[in-house]
């Protein structure tokens, strides 16, 4: 993995929603539509991202698409609802001035039905120049071409085709040459791992420092990373366990997921998160608002490459629904500037600052190995240790009960974040307040 990722903390945003672009226009966005220059609105939030503690932007789709951005029709053109190449170059330049990296969202499992290559195949059949880009499934449905998970507007690419591998390689290298630092590979779980192996080899020949990770929801994470050559995949197992175990007052579930996470860290560093553009926001998911803090504590103190989904640090609410427009609540427009945010989100923002600052001061946390020390239904204690220095560690204690609780902790520690009272003696004990948490370090 490239070295700069050791310090990476991403602020993730969904550009089309963030800048207030129309997500589902009455008709597909025409190829010759004149750009509306909305990308500069993101520039106005870069200082806020730095103040939060981020070191990079993780951007959702920015390429020409028909609706929500994941139905791409031109990988080499900025979506006209966002702007043009000059707007992209300015955004990257402004990020560089602030030390922020930029990672793009690559939708390479499928394209939009309106992609010119697919339109050409529909018109000319097997004799079309790009006929080998698409999967003829032989079913007779949808004119005989495979689609992604039943979405008729998303036509699956044929990943056994050298032409598709060439296309993806060219797209990735083109935007890396223009200033991007890496790629999130959308729906990677639907793409054969061997496809990425060939593409990534070609990309790394010119851009060895690019950070490349895939979207994996379930499956063999470590096996997929090893076979594909990717740096990482998204850690959905941990995401689910964090909110589910807290809501169910069953921290044994989280303990199990942390142990699984430790196994992954032996072979790769997962991309970690507690919210993103595809899931219900934590402020809406958690039954008890006080437990928002626990989720951030876990994210900040476990090994991984973390991202904060824009708005989660302000306790934004939003529910994901399984219907057309079901993502709208979790992908809202942001105000023109941070000054227009509600003051109600300030405490959570300050908590994020504190914990991301702690992580940046302990940069070894990127590869930290967790070890469970104590588990109960409503309490959890774990150690995060530096794999390169056995004496370097943090101990994290969580109490999700509505009453104070005492938990055993190793001796010789001091409180560096959160709250609690350490009592020494034959068995060192930490008393946490109700819904409390603490981070401890060697005294």
Tell me the domain boundaries of the chain: 3-367, 371-442
Predicted confidence band of residue 324 (pLDDT cuts 50, 70, 90) = confident
The whole-angstrom separation of Cα 64 and Cα 75 is 7
* Residue 104 pLDDT > 80: yes
Supply φ then ψ for residue 333, to 5 degrees.
-70, 140
**Which CATH number is associated with domain 3-367?**
3.20.20.80
Residue 433 in contact with residue 403, Cβ under 8 Å?
no
* Residue 306 pLDDT > 90: yes
List, in sequence order, every residue forming a beta bridge with 13; answer none if it has no partner.
Answer: 59
**Within its chain, how far is the Cα of 31 from the centroid?**
30
Q: Which residues contact 234 (CB under 8 A, 6 or more apart)?
A: 213, 214, 215, 216, 217, 270, 271, 273
288-299: average pLDDT: 98
Task: Compute how many other C-beta atoms are within 10 angstroms of the C-beta atom of residue 400.
Answer: 25
- H-assigned helices in 314-406: 346-361
The whole-angstrom separation of Cα 181 and Cα 84 is 19
* Residue 70 pLDDT > 90: yes
State residue 390's pLDDT score: 80
The whole-angstrom separation of Cα 388 and Cα 338 is 39
The whole-angstrom separation of Cα 21 and Cα 106 is 20
Predicted confidence band of residue 136 (pLDDT cuts 50, 70, 90) = confident
Task: Compute how many other C-beta atoms are within 10 angstroms of the C-beta atom of residue 429.
Answer: 15
117-138: average pLDDT: 89
Residue 437 in contact with residue 397, Cβ under 8 Å?
yes
State residue 239's pLDDT score: 98
371-442: same fold as 3-367?
Answer: no
Least Cα distance to 419 among 402, 443, 440 occurs for 440
Predicted confidence band of residue 2 (pLDDT cuts 50, 70, 90) = low
* Mean pLDDT lowest among 150-154, 228-232, 361-365: 150-154
421-433: average pLDDT: 90
Residue 28 in contact with residue 66, Cβ under 8 Å?
yes
Decide the pairing of beta strands 110-112 and 211-214: unpaired
State residue 32's pLDDT score: 72
* Residue 337 pLDDT > 80: yes
192-218: average pLDDT: 97
Determine the angle formed by the axes of helices 193-206 and 162-177, rounding to 10 degrees.
40
State residue 138's pLDDT score: 61
106-126: average pLDDT: 94
The whole-angstrom separation of Cα 166 and Cα 171 is 9
**Over the chain, what is the mean pLDDT?**
95
Residue 382 in contact with residue 394, Cβ under 8 Å?
no
> Domain 371-442 belongs to what topology?
Immunoglobulin-like (2.60.40)
Q: Which residues contact 280 (CB under 8 A, 6 or more apart)?
A: 318, 319, 320, 330
Residue 229 in contact with residue 197, Cβ under 8 Å?
yes
57-74: average pLDDT: 96
DSSP 8-state class, residue 29: P
State residue 151's pLDDT score: 85
Supply φ then ψ for residue 114, to 5 degrees.
-85, 5
Supply φ then ψ for residue 44, to 5 degrees.
-70, -10
Distance (Å) of CA 378 to CA 51, 117, 139, 437, 438: 33, 55, 52, 12, 14
Task: Compute how many other C-beta atoms are within 10 angstroms of the C-beta atom of residue 174.
Answer: 12
State residue 29's pLDDT score: 62
The whole-angstrom separation of Cα 418 and Cα 395 is 12
State residue 9's pLDDT score: 98
Question: What is the percentage of the chain residues whose pLDDT exceeds 70?
Answer: 97
Residue 258 in contact with residue 270, Cβ under 8 Å?
no
HSE-CB of 289 using CA atoms within 13 angstroms = 8
166-177 per-position pLDDT tens digit: 999 999 999 999
Least Cα distance to 154 among 90, 71, 80, 94 occurs for 71
* Residue 118 pLDDT > 70: yes
255-274: average pLDDT: 98
The whole-angstrom separation of Cα 106 and Cα 168 is 9
More confident residue, 31 or 38: 38
What's the pTM value of the predicted model, to 2 decimals?
0.96
């Amino acid at each position: 993995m490239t070295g700069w990722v050791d310090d990476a903390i991403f602020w993730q945003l969904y550009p089309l929603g963030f800048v207030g672009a129309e997500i589902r226009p009455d008709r597909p966005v025409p190829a010759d539509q004149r750009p509306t220059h909305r990308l500069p609105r993101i520039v106005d939030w870069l200082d806020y991202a730095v103040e939060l503690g981020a070191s990079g932007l993780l951007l959702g789709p920015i390429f020409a698409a028909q609706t929500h951005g994941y139905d791409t029709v031109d990988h080499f053109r900025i979506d006209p609802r966002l702007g043009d190449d000059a707007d992209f170059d300015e955004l990257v330049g402004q990020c560089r001035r602030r030390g922020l990296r930029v990672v793009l969202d690559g939708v390479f499992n499928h394209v939009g039905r309106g992609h010119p290559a697919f339109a050409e195949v529909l018109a000319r059949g097997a004799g079309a120049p790009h006929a080998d880009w698409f999967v003829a499934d032989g079913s007779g449905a949808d004119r005989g071409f495979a689609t992604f998970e039943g979405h008729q507007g998303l036509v699956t690419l044929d990943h056994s085709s050298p032409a598709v591998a060439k296309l993806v390689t060219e797209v990735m290298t083109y935007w890396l040459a223009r200033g991007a630092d890496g790629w999130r590979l959308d729906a990677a779980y639907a793409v054969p791992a061997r496809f990425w192996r060939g593409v990534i080899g070609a990309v790394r020949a010119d851009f060895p420092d690019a950070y490349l990770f895939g979207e994996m929801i379930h499956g063999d994470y470590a096996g997929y990373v090893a076979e594909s050559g990717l740096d990482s995949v998204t850690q959905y197992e941990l995401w689910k366990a964090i909110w589910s175990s807290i809501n169910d007052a069953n921290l044994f579930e989280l303990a199990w997921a942390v142990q699984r996470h430790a196994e992954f860290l032996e072979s790769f560093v997962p991309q970690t998160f507690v919210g993103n553009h595809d899931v219900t926001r934590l402020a809406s998911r958690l039954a008890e608002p006080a437990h928002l803090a626990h989720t951030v504590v876990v994210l900040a103190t476990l090994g991984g490459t973390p991202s904060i989904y824009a708005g989660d640090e302000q306790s934004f609410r939003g529910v994901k629904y399984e219907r057309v427009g079901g993502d709208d609540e979790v992908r809202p427009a942001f105000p023109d500037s941070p000054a227009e945010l509600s003051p109600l989100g300030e405490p959570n923002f300050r908590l994020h600052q504190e914990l991301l600052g702690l992580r940046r001061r302990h940069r070894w946390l990127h590869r930290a190995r967790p070890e469970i020390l104590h588990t109960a239904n409503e309490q959890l204690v774990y150690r995060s240790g530096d794999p390169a220095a056995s004496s370097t560690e943090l101990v994290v204690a969580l109490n999700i009960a509505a009453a104070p609780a005492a938990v055993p902790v190793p001796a010789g520690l001091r409180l560096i974040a959160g709250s609690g009272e350490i009592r020494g003696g034959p068995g060192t004990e930490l008393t946490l307040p109700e819904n409390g948490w603490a981070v401890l370090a060697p005294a």
